[in-house]
Amino acid sequence: MARIEFKGVSKTYPDGTRAIVDLDLVVEDGELLCLLGPSGCGKSSTIRVLAGLETFSDGMILADNNRIDHLPPQARDCAMIFENYALYPHLTAFENIAMPLRARRLPASEIKARVTKIAGILRMEHLMGRRPSRLSGGEKQRVGIGRALVREPAMFLMDEPLGHLEAYLRVELRAEIRKLQERLGITTIYVTHDQEEAAAIADRIVVMSAGRLQQVGSFLDLFDRPVNRFVAEFVGEPPMVFLPVERTNADSIAVKGVRIPISEPLRAALRATQDRELILGIRPNDFSLGPPVRDHLNGTVTLVQPQGDHAIVAVSTPAGPATAIVPSDRRPAPGATVGLTFAGERLHLFDSAARALNKGEGGG
Amino acid sequence: MEASRTDYFSLGEPKPDSMKLAVERRRATWLLIAPAFVVLLGLNLFPIVYALYISCHYWMLARPQPPRFAGLSNYQELFFDARFRNSVLVSLKFIVLAVGIEMLLGFGLAFVFNTRLRGMATLRKLTLLPSLVMPLVVGLVWFYMFNENFGIVNWFWVVLGGTRVPFLTQGALALLSIVATDVWQWTPFVMLVFFAALQALPEYVYEAARIDGLSGSQIFFRVTLPLLRPAILIVLIIRAVDALRSLELVFMMTKGGPAGDTEVLPWYLYTTGFMSPDLGYAAAMAVLMLALVTILSQLFVRQLESREVTR
Amino acid sequence: MKQNTSTRPLPAVTVWEAKPQSLFPRKRHSSLLSLALVGVSIGFATLNAHAAAATGQAGSVLDGQTIRILAIGDPVFQVMQKIHDDMEKMAGGKIELDVRPFDVLHQQVLLNAQNPTSSYDIIAIDLPQFGEYKSFLLDLNPLIKQTGFDTTDFHQAAWTGAQVGGKQLGIPIQPHPEILAYRKDLFEEAGLQPPVTTDDVLAAAKKLHNSKPGLAGIAWNAARGTPLGQTFIQVMGSFGQAPIDLPRTDHGFSIDNIKPENMKPMIDTPAGLATAKYLKALMDYSPPGILNMAWDERVRVFAQGGAAMTYIWSGRSAIYELDPQATARGKVGYVVHPHGPNAAPVSPLGGWNLGIPSNVDKSRIPLAWKVITWLTSPEMMKEYTKYGDCVSPRHSVSQDPEVVMHCPVVPVVDEMASKGELADWQRPPVPELQQIVDVLGSVMHEMLAGKRTPEDAVKESQQQIDRIMRKAGYY
């Protein structure tokens, strides 16, 4: 159990690729923190550096205020769960789980007791005699989890642990992981590219891109108050719609000549900037479609994807493509012309540097 | 949960139609394989059966008389043949020493070559050279190298101030000289197999091991060694059987001398079958040697298989 | 495949050994390694003929025809390979000379005999092989009579050695004895007389051994197997005993009509024990590595001045007599195999003859015979001596000054032949000979290595050979 702190950590590969750029991050004791981002964003590198499997170029890593970055992986007391399970192919499930205890030369009786207990917790007593080649993917990862749990480490590092599993298994296992983590209260860093998974499991989520930390917060924080266009686009499904806007006034904007009503805080933010190349961000949920209205933002429906109780509607507007989510019974027909309206208080505005104008507020 | 899932995918009883089809397909398969099977069986089995047949006869090639049935007398004679017993013993000594040293050296070298140092690839290719040379040539070269009158080894030794060493004419030393030659020739091969096996070991297992807190030696004994087990067994089979059958080095270097201290089983068999030439007796020896080779290889193969099954 | 019969003189013992050997003797030590590689992988190098002009008028021997000869990688045939092109010019036709290692030749002769028609016109036969080959060879007597071939010029022992049951089955081309070579200069310096008895050999060896740095008393075949086995029975001959119980004659033993009761081994005899003790005594005055020394190495050690004496098949003396760099060149004296007490001086005779397979196409017999008479003619014999074959079974050639200059050993051997000191009963032509040799080569090696006493060794050898003979059903 530990509080982990990254201080200015950077990792640059010999070829000049920057995997991690100046990362400052605190993982609180007992917290489950998700590192979320597209592949290549540096999230895996971050926990591999923390585990000691990879070196880094700059900065320091502390656990409970002690530097650990000079220690070999063996001495960092972190347990890791790998995307490809990384089980010992020559050993049975039992021996795989027992390995960390054997490394610590615990007495055989204690090893047996602890492994058996873990097997019970994970409900896989019947698999203990099998080698990995005779386990399914889900079973393998349970063994991987068991191996991490058995030693009660200072931290759990999970590198896309459910990435290779089928969807229904992912849902089931992630719940199990969350339950176990809460019960044990072990600081956990969980890497994933799946925002739904992150939303379901994490106390806080860190969004990373191109080696840089973009935003830290709960899923709702990220969803409702993205600090920049990247977070806004990456979090939320289907992604946020972006439309270029013109400034008609110090505190008003228009899309293709159609004036857009905005909230007071947003207006205040708008007044504070001179930037003229602004981008409007609207979540598909915040659109509503109606009959076309003159002097309004109208568009042609290009695609309708029914999703059960709602449908995702792609609309081509003069300002650019937009996506809206509407109740199924109110979905338009493809080819129809529709008018788009949206609530002014749930809009996001980004400046030419892609930063959110209404940082930390707006939405809600 | 796993179990219930697999039930969805189980195929259940095959339908009568598909069963008929399967039978037909199997029949066709056998029909197609049959000629090759018969040829292979004949090629493999006939010489063995023929050797068994000869081994029960008195058959001197040098005499005009046809082979004469002799029952098991050849085997009986072998049982009391001290020279035969000695040659089996020498063969075993040779295998244990040569293959043992080759395994250890090859294993160690594989780790050295596994390091990603500049020039290792070239070095690796160079070290392979000895195993590309015909054993007979190797035997000839080393015979001259170890020769007491003309040998370069002794020459250097004397230049360095030593006295001549009877490499090939003193009992234990002669066997060791042959072992050394075999080691020279075959260590690179062993090294290469282990090197390939090492290269094939998954990196992730080592990451897991480090995370799990295994020390360097624990990683070696608990991870690397067990993972290399199949490679070790295969090299052991190949080398042990090969060493048991090899006679070229003895033939070129000592002819079994001094006083039979290097007379390996194949060399005794060769002199009996080709020089004397008492074919019946040599065949009996060959049959026993075949049995020995079979037992030896089966021991290892069983080890390999036992692992595959429980896996 | 191959039958018993011993490996004769210089020939390679076996298939594989033969190839490199053909190249080694005349090469220096430094190039041995590369030669070994080249020799084995490439096989016989084609040697350029730089031969002298033809001595005989043989333009009509072949008359445009082709003769097919199956032969051995021994000096005389190696010379033929060397001067092949000149010989073809001399003979006026094509000479197909297939040179094989000992065992392969033996095997091919036996296989060829099974063919309805022989693939070869002429084959090479080792002296002890006549007993085995007798039914496969043409009797040459009618041809000899018909053409008036002069037989009196040949050494008596070599000539009669090619006879079986009154039939002349071969014409000697390279028969030579194993004799003792000694360094005249060293013997003179030490005030020693040429050795006559085995005691003389021991005394001289003792005196000369280590008298100079790197000088051993005597080099000989003590390598395990055939080398030592042959040495044993050949030395035992000099102690007056054949390896099996052959009928005695005035001068030695008769091998004309060997009966089953003659097959009893005679190793555990006073002569056998004396032989074992003599060989054991030689160990103290032998070069390093003696226990692995065979035909090739003993001559090389001697040639380079590493030993004061060596047993040698006389034809092999060319190795140093024709090598300007050899220490021993021109300083060597030769004597018949030194003998034991109460035994006659006698050297074992071995070597090669030319014969015609009995299944050869009848129409080819005259040509084959013509070629044999040409190849064994005095002119050709003399030619061979120039290129490394120090052998002459013909008295007329042996006294030729040019021959004597190239091969000082030839007149010495000629004299031995005249005195009746050459014999072939030491290696009787019986099928079990190689087994006898093999037993002795292994048991006596244990004796030399100190694992058995001489008494024990002769007893053990006797028993083992006795078992072989019983198994063969002789008694």
User: Residue B61's pLDDT is what?
Assistant: 65
Band of residue A35 on the pLDDT scale cut at 50, 70, 90: very high
Q: Over the stretch C6-30, which tens digit does the pLDDT of each residue have? A: 333 333 333 333 333 333 333 333 3
Indicate if A112 and A86 belong to the same structural domain. yes
Tokens of B196: 């390939």
User: Residue C443's pLDDT is what?
Assistant: 94
Contacts of B253 in chain C (CB under 8 A): 292
User: Residue C15's pLDDT is what?
Assistant: 31
Tokens of B2: 């796993």
Residue A359 lies in a domain: no
Is the per-residue pLDDT at A41 higher than 80? yes
Tokens of C418: 């005249």
Interface contact A55, partner B, CB < 8 A: no
Identify the CA nearest to B191 among candidates B199, B201, B202.
B199
User: Residue C12's pLDDT is what?
Assistant: 33
Indicate if A214 and A273 belong to the same structural domain. no
User: Residue B3's pLDDT is what?
Assistant: 42
Indicate if A216 and A263 belong to the same structural domain. no
CATH, domain C15-175+351-418, list 3.40.50.1370, 1.10.1740.10, 3.30.420.10, 3.40.190.10: 3.40.190.10
Q: Which amino acid is at A342?
A: F
Indicate if A190 and A108 belong to the same structural domain. yes
Last residue of a domain, one of A230, A264, A299: A230
Which of C438, C467, C472 lies nearest to residue B275, judging by beta carbons? C438
Q: Kindly report the backbone phi and psi dihedral angles of residue B171, in degrees, each rounded to the nearest multiple of 5, phi listed first.
A: -30, -80
User: Residue C69's pLDDT is what?
Assistant: 95
Find the closest chain B residue to C460 by CA distance.
B82
Structural domain containing residue A210: 4-230
Find the closest chain B residue to C470 by CA distance.
B58
Q: Over the stretch C66-115, which tens digit does the pLDDT of each residue have? A: 999 999 888 899 899 999 999 998 888 899 999 987 767 877 887 788 78
Is the per-residue pLDDT at A141 higher than 80? yes
User: Residue C206's pLDDT is what?
Assistant: 94
By the 10 Å C-beta count (0-12 exposed, 13-18 middle, 19+ buried), C45 is classed as exposed
User: Residue C172's pLDDT is what?
Assistant: 94
Distance CA C353, CA C133 (A): 12
Contacts of B204 in chain A (CB under 8 A): 82, 84, 86
User: Residue B64's pLDDT is what?
Assistant: 61
Is the per-residue pLDDT at A363 higher than 60? no
Residue that wins the pLDDT comparison between C460 and A124: C460
Is the per-residue pLDDT at C196 higher than 60? yes
Distance CA B92, CA A97 (A): 42
Distance CA A155, CA A268 (A): 44
Q: Over the stretch C239-261, which tens digit does the pLDDT of each residue have? A: 999 999 999 988 789 887 888 89
Task: State whether B311 and A52 contact (CB < 8 Å).
Answer: no
Residue A104 lies in a domain: yes
Q: Distance from B282 to chain C by nearest Cα, in Å?
A: 13
Of B99-103, B277-281, C6-10, which gets the smallest average pLDDT? C6-10
Interface contact B223, partner A, CB < 8 A: yes
Distance CA A20, CA B144 (A): 63
Band of residue C60 on the pLDDT scale cut at 50, 70, 90: low
User: Tokens 């030491």 map to which residue?
Assistant: C426
Which of B137, B154, B171 lies nearest to residue C449, judging by beta carbons? B171
Tokens of C333: 């004296």
Which 8-state DSSP code applies to residue C394?
B
Q: Which amino acid is at C351?
A: G
CATH number for position A225? 3.40.50.300
Task: State the complex-level ipTM.
Answer: 0.81
Indicate if A327 and A215 belong to the same structural domain. no
Band of residue C315 on the pLDDT scale cut at 50, 70, 90: confident
Give the number of domains in chain A: 2
Q: Which amino acid is at B6?
A: T
Contacts of B233 in chain A (CB under 8 A): none
Residue A315 lies in a domain: yes
Interface contact B137, partner C, CB < 8 A: yes
Indicate if A62 and A172 belong to the same structural domain. yes
Residue that wins the pLDDT comparison between C46 and C238: C238
Interface contact B208, partner A, CB < 8 A: yes
Averaged pLDDT score across all residues of chain A: 88
Mean pLDDT of C414-430: 87
Is the per-residue pLDDT at A301 higher than 50? yes
User: Tokens 């085997």 map to which residue?
Assistant: B75
Determine B/C contact with 3+ CB pairs under 8 A as the test: yes
Residue that wins the pLDDT comparison between C105 and C174: C174
Distance CA C398, CA C404 (A): 7
User: Residue A359's pLDDT is what?
Assistant: 59
Band of residue B16 on the pLDDT scale cut at 50, 70, 90: low
Is the per-residue pLDDT at C35 higher than 60? no
Contacts of B154 in chain C (CB under 8 A): 288
Interface test with B, best of C34, C224, C310, C466 (most B CBs within 10 A): C224
Residues A241, A244, A247, A253, CA torsion sign: negative
Task: State whether C3 and B254 contact (CB < 8 Å).
Answer: no
Band of residue B117 on the pLDDT scale cut at 50, 70, 90: confident
Q: Over the stretch A310-362, which tens digit does the pLDDT of each residue have? A: 999 999 988 889 999 999 888 888 988 998 888 777 888 898 888 888 755 44
Q: Distance from C39 to chain B by nearest Cα, in Å?
A: 9
Is the per-residue pLDDT at A47 higher than 70? yes
Contacts of B149 in chain C (CB under 8 A): 287-289, 297, 300-301, 306
Task: State whether A86 and B311 contact (CB < 8 Å).
Answer: no
Peptide bond into C324 cis (omega under 30): no
Indicate if A181 and A254 belong to the same structural domain. no
Q: For chain B, where are the alpha helices, taking DSSP H only?
A: 2-9, 16-55, 73-79, 82-114, 120-127, 129-132, 135-146, 152-159, 171-200, 203-211, 216-219, 225-245, 248-253, 265-270, 279-310
Contacts of C114 in chain B (CB under 8 A): none
Distance CA C174, CA C381 (A): 9
User: Residue C216's pLDDT is what?
Assistant: 94
Indicate if A159 and A191 belong to the same structural domain. yes
Interface contact B156, partner C, CB < 8 A: no
Distance CA B137, CA C277 (A): 36
- For C177-348+425-472, which CATH superfamily applies? Periplasmic binding protein-like II (3.40.190.10)
The answer to whether the beta carbons of residues B208 and A87 sit under 8 Å apart is yes
Distance CA B96, CA B101 (A): 8
Which of B137, B259, B276 lies nearest to residue C37, judging by beta carbons? B137
Tokens of A190: 């969980």
Last residue of a domain, one of A177, A202, A230: A230
**% of residues, chain A, pLDDT over 90:** 43
Length in residues, chain C: 475
Interface of A with B in 192-251 (CB under 8 A): none
Residue A362 lies in a domain: no
Interface contact A133, partner B, CB < 8 A: yes
Interface contact B75, partner C, CB < 8 A: no
User: Residue C101's pLDDT is what?
Assistant: 74
Contacts of C103 in chain B (CB under 8 A): 274
Q: Which amino acid is at A56?
A: F
Indicate if A54 and A179 belong to the same structural domain. yes
Which 8-state DSSP code applies to residue A236?
S
The answer to whether the beta carbons of residues A103 and A153 sit under 8 Å apart is no
Residue A105 lies in a domain: yes
Which of B61, B147, B152 lies nearest to residue C289, judging by beta carbons? B147
* Angle at alpha carbon of residue B125, lines to B123 and B127, rounded to 5°: 70
Residue A361 lies in a domain: no
Mean pLDDT of A195-200: 91
CATH number for position A264? 2.40.50.140
Residue A235 lies in a domain: no
Interface contact A65, partner B, CB < 8 A: no
Indicate if A70 and A217 belong to the same structural domain. yes
Residue A96 lies in a domain: yes
Distance CA C256, CA C239 (A): 21
**% of residues, chain C, pLDDT over 70:** 87
Last residue of a domain, one of A202, A230, A258: A230
Please, which residues have CB within 8 angstroms of residue B78's CB and are 6 or more apart in sequence?
Answer: B84, B281, B284, B285, B288
Indicate if A249 and A279 belong to the same structural domain. yes
Is the per-residue pLDDT at B95 higher than 60? yes
User: Residue B15's pLDDT is what?
Assistant: 55
User: Residue B306's pLDDT is what?
Assistant: 66
Q: Over the stretch A151-189, which tens digit does the pLDDT of each residue have? A: 888 899 999 988 888 888 888 888 888 988 898 899 999
Domains and CATH numbers, chain B: 2-55 (no CATH), 73-310 (1.10.3720.10)
Distance CA B54, CA B74 (A): 10
Indicate if A226 and A244 belong to the same structural domain. no
Residues of chain C with CATH 3.40.190.10: 15-175+351-418, 177-348+425-472
Distance of CA A137 to the CA centre of its chain: 23
Is the per-residue pLDDT at A242 higher than 50? yes
Contacts of A91 in chain B (CB under 8 A): 226
* Angle at alpha carbon of residue C18, lines to C12 and C23, rounded to 5°: 115
Residue that wins the pLDDT comparison between C43 and A360: A360
Q: Kindly report the backbone phi and psi dihedral angles of residue B248, in degrees, each rounded to the nearest multiple of 5, phi listed first.
A: -60, -45
Q: Distance from C30 to chain B by nearest Cα, in Å?
A: 9
Is the per-residue pLDDT at B46 higher than 50? yes
Interface contact C5, partner B, CB < 8 A: yes
Is the per-residue pLDDT at C401 higher than 50? yes
User: Residue B276's pLDDT is what?
Assistant: 67
Is the per-residue pLDDT at C207 higher than 90? yes
User: Residue C37's pLDDT is what?
Assistant: 35
Is the per-residue pLDDT at C211 higher than 80? yes
User: Residue B6's pLDDT is what?
Assistant: 40
Q: Over the stretch A77-89, which tens digit does the pLDDT of each residue have? A: 899 999 889 999 9
Q: Name the strand (E) or helix (H) holding C176.
A: strand C171-183
Q: Crossing angle of helices B152-159/B135-146, nearest 10°?
A: 30
Which of B145, B164, B258 lies nearest to residue C445, judging by beta carbons? B258
* Angle at alpha carbon of residue B141, lines to B138 and B143, rounded to 5°: 105
Of A114-128, A260-274, B182-196, C447-461, which gets the smallest average pLDDT? A260-274
Task: State whether B211 and A103 contact (CB < 8 Å).
Answer: no
Is the per-residue pLDDT at A124 higher than 60? yes
